[in-house]
Chain A
């Protein structure tokens, strides 16, 4: 069975005709061509697919596209505005918070939700928040530093 799903993606109204079993991440990647959101596992452990749905971080591999009908969705492609990197993106670059870059979009999207809920997170709070985001390259050290610095500049900015 096919259904029509419409939502706002990074500020733009989009829609697609998809099989009803289509996962949200699949619709975003395969039907809408935004491939910054990644799939790193099939058990909702890795967090490479984290996006924002109505302002909250969500693992888009764990949600049906149908459930997102009418939602406001932001993916990594929508974080920089008018060619200007978001302070959290800048912080990941400045603090070498990425190596292969595969987990990075999910990490940044997750970090943005953390800072929204907790504008000045401690190192311990950051590490606990990242329970649902795996990285195999960085050992997390520089990701934690980047998120702390990103949060700092978001408060200032």
Chain B
């Protein structure tokens, strides 16, 4: 292994600035002469706006302007677009309501934007916002899937009858019906996938900065994908051409999907900056984040698994209702469809699958991607169902899974729900996890727990996910309204140092390190002489950003392709300098040599020759050494693995403690194992959060009851154990790196493992089902027979 190259646990380049307090997050940026924006948000779930009285606010000293939805509409501002279209099973397009950045006529959730105050200080903006008097005529609302589905329910949108946005299906219904007709046994389950709030530690923020001299706009924003924001906001909302709009997403403090979406505030500050000809800064406080960041999950499902008498899976039937909130967020419609139901085969050879998904509007915050986005919902449903099947059939849960696994020789494997898995070895990953978890000695540990009065349980899940949505034309056919390639530019500077411009965005993933490791490996340049630039449309040619665990599998490969172009050109230059044939040049460890001789030239000298081309083949080769590659993958990648959780339940209180957690994952080849382990730790903790702690709760009138960190329970350090993690490698077959992606797996595999463990701990209590989060009260009630 090359030092600091592929596979090394290189310490991160980006850490120095963060551990010394010199990171630059959006709220750390201040523009000269800037104003502060405070958004006035709806306090009710549904209502008609009769009047917005801004007079008192405008009269306040220090207030520069107050704008309403009517002002934006009068200026021709467009609606926030949705990035993915879904077609219902009857062929009709999804209902796609307008989404003005500031509501002018009607508010549709608590937190909906109504007006914005611009003032000289944040304190004045906040005080003035209190003086904006909005007269609402309150209307009846629907705060959850149940009330939205009821007969005669109030409508979020008049043209969405029954509050249905789309009614979609995938798979072969008749084949699935036939499988059930021939089944020896059927297992059924009802699943609620609890609504979550991402809660990246950095609240969202945005600064709009209009330059009247050049008629140019700059938006600083907390985004996972600045080019996507430029495209959506520029083209659809504000009609600003790309060359006049620069979007910068500097250091971003976590995203987890919630910072993919194009948000109203980005458009509001950008537009307002031109209106007042001054920079405009907005930073959410946490309370505002809770009612304006896209929420995640929120499915209610019924599923049935048909089996032979031996436990072979014959058919799977799934019916899901998904909550989209009041408006369609950027990728909202893709999450419960393309990113969910296509994963329902899991790691199993179930020959017939049919799933239908009814997506509903409610008077709640728009729902979009949250770590895993659809795939955790699929994995949870399937892995809970398989464990229930094991219990019902009396077959050991490991054996039942093993019996139904897609086998290594089956790849490439076409599932009944559209995806073609390229590679994997599910049993190998499971065996590694079982060994690391010391599963064989679980009974001893259970006895030891029992001696202390605790109920110990073990739970397993074997998940699959799909990362790096691709190729673009297939994604387009499935409803994507953008490409899903990635872009990498390698700029070799004259002295041989390297600047990489990548369309991927790092907000904790460590690309500044892992991408530099690829450059070390391919060009032999010293690690310290490489910089990775991301998050600025003014510097990076283009890019689709970071989500869906796509950065290594798509962005990394784009970088590799650009590096290959550099290597090719460098060999041509070296061949000239060494007076040899290009075919005889070997490029290794930063040296370009003539094969079989001691003649060589350092890569840095090649770079210098490219920029000072005095001895250079100018007639056949351009000077300079900079290459760009756009990479559009042939397929998704398919990470998979096995998670094993052990819990202790206190029978007196129902408190669940995760005491051991083991992950055996297959992410393909691994660039930096330290970073991959860290991604697993974080993902698993978010999964444990979903399983035991986190729940977004609205009351019946649409008020968010879990609107602060006091009410919404995020996992703390003493809520989680140390993690045991290992990997099994089956390289991805269709990308040059052999990587699959690791960012979301932790949150996908862990929730079913935790709940399966809790149910296992309660095996003496006749508890079949337990919904997430398994709070002490819920567990205790289940133990009393009130589940």
Interface residues, chain A, with chain B CB atoms under 8 Å away: 19, 21, 29-30, 34-43, 45-46, 48, 75-77, 79-80, 85, 89, 92-94, 96, 98-105, 108, 123-124, 126-128, 130-131, 133-144
A130/B254 contact (C-beta < 8 A), A40-B202, A102-B25 known: no
A37/B685 contact (C-beta < 8 A), A46-B709, A101-B253 known: no
Across the interface, do A85 and B201 meet the contact criterion of CB distance under 8 Å?
Answer: no
- In order of increasing CB-CB distance, the 7 nearest A-B pairs are A36-B21, A101-B18, A102-B253, A139-B685, A100-B508, A76-B21, A99-B508
13 of the cross-chain contacts (CB-CB < 8 Å) are A38-B25, A42-B287, A46-B201, A76-B21, A99-B254, A99-B682, A102-B254, A103-B253, A108-B19, A133-B717, A140-B681, A140-B685, A143-B717
Contact partners of B14 in chain A: CB under 8 A: 101
Give Cα A69–Cα B150 distance, bound, in whole angstroms. 59
CB of B536 within 8 A of chain A? no
Across the interface, do A40 and B19 meet the contact criterion of CB distance under 8 Å?
Answer: no
Across the interface, do B723 and A134 meet the contact criterion of CB distance under 8 Å?
Answer: no
Q: Give the B interface residue count (CB, 8 A).
A: 58
Contact partners of A38 in chain B: CB under 8 A: 25, 27, 201-202, 253
Give Cα A136–Cα B25 distance, bound, in whole angstroms. 16
Closest Cβ–Cβ distance, residue B249 to chain A (whole Å): 12
Closest Cβ–Cβ distance, residue A60 to chain B (whole Å): 13
Across the interface, do A100 and B123 meet the contact criterion of CB distance under 8 Å?
Answer: no
Give Cα A101–Cα B24 distance, bound, in whole angstroms. 10
Across the interface, do B254 and A136 meet the contact criterion of CB distance under 8 Å?
Answer: yes
Contact partners of A21 in chain B: CB under 8 A: 123
Across the interface, do A136 and B714 meet the contact criterion of CB distance under 8 Å?
Answer: yes
Closest Cβ–Cβ distance, residue B485 to chain A (whole Å): 25
Contact partners of A138 in chain B: CB under 8 A: 678, 681-682, 685
CB of B112 within 8 A of chain A? no
Contact partners of A144 in chain B: CB under 8 A: 717, 722
Give Cα A141–Cα B13 distance, bound, in whole angstroms. 20
CB of B12 within 8 A of chain A? yes
A75/B21 contact (C-beta < 8 A), A102-B253, A139-B720 known: yes
Mask for B107-143, Cβ within 8 A of A = 1, else 0?
A: 0000000000000000100000000000000000000
CB of B158 within 8 A of chain A? no
Across the interface, do A136 and B717 meet the contact criterion of CB distance under 8 Å?
Answer: no
CB of B708 within 8 A of chain A? yes
User: Which chain B residue lies CB-closest to A99?
Assistant: B508
Give Cα A90–Cα B640 distance, bound, in whole angstroms. 34
- Which residue of A80, A94, A102, A103 is within 8 Å of B20 (Cβ)? A80
User: Which chain A residue lies CB-closest to B709?
Assistant: A45
Across the interface, do A105 and B21 meet the contact criterion of CB distance under 8 Å?
Answer: yes
Across the interface, do A43 and B716 meet the contact criterion of CB distance under 8 Å?
Answer: no
Contact partners of A127 in chain B: CB under 8 A: 717-718
A139/B18 contact (C-beta < 8 A), A40-B203, A123-B722 known: no
Across the interface, do B19 and A104 meet the contact criterion of CB distance under 8 Å?
Answer: yes
Contact partners of A92 in chain B: CB under 8 A: 15, 19
Contact partners of B675 in chain A: CB under 8 A: 96
CB of B11 within 8 A of chain A? yes
Across the interface, do B11 and A93 meet the contact criterion of CB distance under 8 Å?
Answer: yes
A43/B11 contact (C-beta < 8 A), A80-B20, A143-B717 known: no
Contact partners of B507 in chain A: CB under 8 A: 100
Give Cα A85–Cα B686 distance, bound, in whole angstroms. 31
Give Cα A130–Cα B256 distance, bound, in whole angstroms. 22
Contact partners of B123 in chain A: CB under 8 A: 19, 21
User: Which chain B residue lies CB-closest to A144?
Assistant: B717
Across the interface, do A101 and B508 meet the contact criterion of CB distance under 8 Å?
Answer: yes
Give Cα A8–Cα B11 distance, bound, in whole angstroms. 34
User: Which chain A residue lies CB-closest to B20?
Assistant: A80
Across the interface, do B203 and A37 meet the contact criterion of CB distance under 8 Å?
Answer: no
Mask for B238-281, Cβ within 8 A of A = 1, else 0?
A: 00000000000001111010000000000000000000000000
User: Which chain B residue lies CB-closest to A22?
Assistant: B123
CB of B28 within 8 A of chain A? yes
Closest Cβ–Cβ distance, residue B118 to chain A (whole Å): 17
Contact partners of A123 in chain B: CB under 8 A: 722
Across the interface, do B723 and A93 meet the contact criterion of CB distance under 8 Å?
Answer: no
Instruction: Kindly list 11 other residue pairs between chains A and B, CB separation below 8 angstroms, not including A135-B201, A136-B714, A139-B715.
Output: A45-B708, A45-B709, A98-B19, A99-B678, A100-B254, A104-B19, A131-B717, A139-B723, A140-B681, A141-B720, A142-B678
User: Which chain A residue lies CB-closest to B199?
Assistant: A136
Contact partners of B199 in chain A: CB under 8 A: 136
Residue with the greatest number of chain A CB neighbours at <10 A, chosen from B14, B16, B682, B720: B682
Contact partners of A139 in chain B: CB under 8 A: 681-686, 715, 720, 723, 746
Closest Cβ–Cβ distance, residue A10 to chain B (whole Å): 10
Across the interface, do A42 and B708 meet the contact criterion of CB distance under 8 Å?
Answer: yes
Give Cα A39–Cα B686 distance, bound, in whole angstroms. 21
Contact partners of B715 in chain A: CB under 8 A: 139
Closest Cβ–Cβ distance, residue B663 to chain A (whole Å): 11
Closest Cβ–Cβ distance, residue B618 to chain A (whole Å): 45
Across the interface, do A136 and B256 meet the contact criterion of CB distance under 8 Å?
Answer: yes
Contact partners of A75 in chain B: CB under 8 A: 21
CB of B301 within 8 A of chain A? no
Closest Cβ–Cβ distance, residue B643 to chain A (whole Å): 13
- Which residue of A45, A99, A130, A141 is within 8 Å of B509 (Cβ)? A99
Across the interface, do A35 and B717 meet the contact criterion of CB distance under 8 Å?
Answer: no
CB of B710 within 8 A of chain A? yes
Give Cα A100–Cα B115 distance, bound, in whole angstroms. 32
Give Cα A102–Cα B286 distance, bound, in whole angstroms. 14
Across the interface, do A40 and B286 meet the contact criterion of CB distance under 8 Å?
Answer: yes
- Which residue of A42, A93, A100, A136 is within 8 Å of B285 (Cβ)? A42
A140/B252 contact (C-beta < 8 A), A21-B123, A93-B12 known: no
Interface residues of B in 505-526 (CB under 8 A from A): 507-510
Mask for B183-199, Cβ within 8 A of A = 1, else 0?
A: 00000000000000011
User: Which chain B residue lies CB-closest to A104?
Assistant: B18
CB of B23 within 8 A of chain A? yes
Closest Cβ–Cβ distance, residue A126 to chain B (whole Å): 7
Across the interface, do A76 and B20 meet the contact criterion of CB distance under 8 Å?
Answer: yes
Give Cα A99–Cα B716 distance, bound, in whole angstroms. 16
Give Cα A138–Cα B256 distance, bound, in whole angstroms. 12
